[in-house]
Amino acid sequence: MLIDKPVDIAQLFRLHRKQQGISQARIAKKSATRQDMVSKLENRPEKIRLQELMNLMSALDLELYVAPKPKRRWHGDW
């Protein structure tokens, strides 16, 4: 999935959590954090720190990959 903004990560995280049937409290315990941090990721992802994001994603067995953007070709006239 292409992630363009923080809300994309939040939606992906929530989707995977719900598909696995795991509560916010259980993810928090598994990642050694508080339930409000899980809620923060899902509802205000622009406020979460990178380390918190990585810990929470790991608790859901998710990984983050970074890749170069593909080169875009311009198809218009000047």
Banded pLDDT at 24 (limits 50, 70, 90): very high
Q: Give, in degrees to the nearest 5, the angle at Cα 57 between 67 and 13.
A: 90
pLDDT digits (tens, 9 = 90+) for 37-65: 999 999 999 999 999 999 999 999 999 88
φ, ψ for residue 2 (rounded to 5)? -80, 130
Predicted structure pTM score: 0.82
Q: Would you say 3 and 12 are in contact if contact means Cβ atoms under 8 Å apart?
A: yes
**What domains are there in the chain, each with its CATH number?**
6-59 (1.10.260.40)
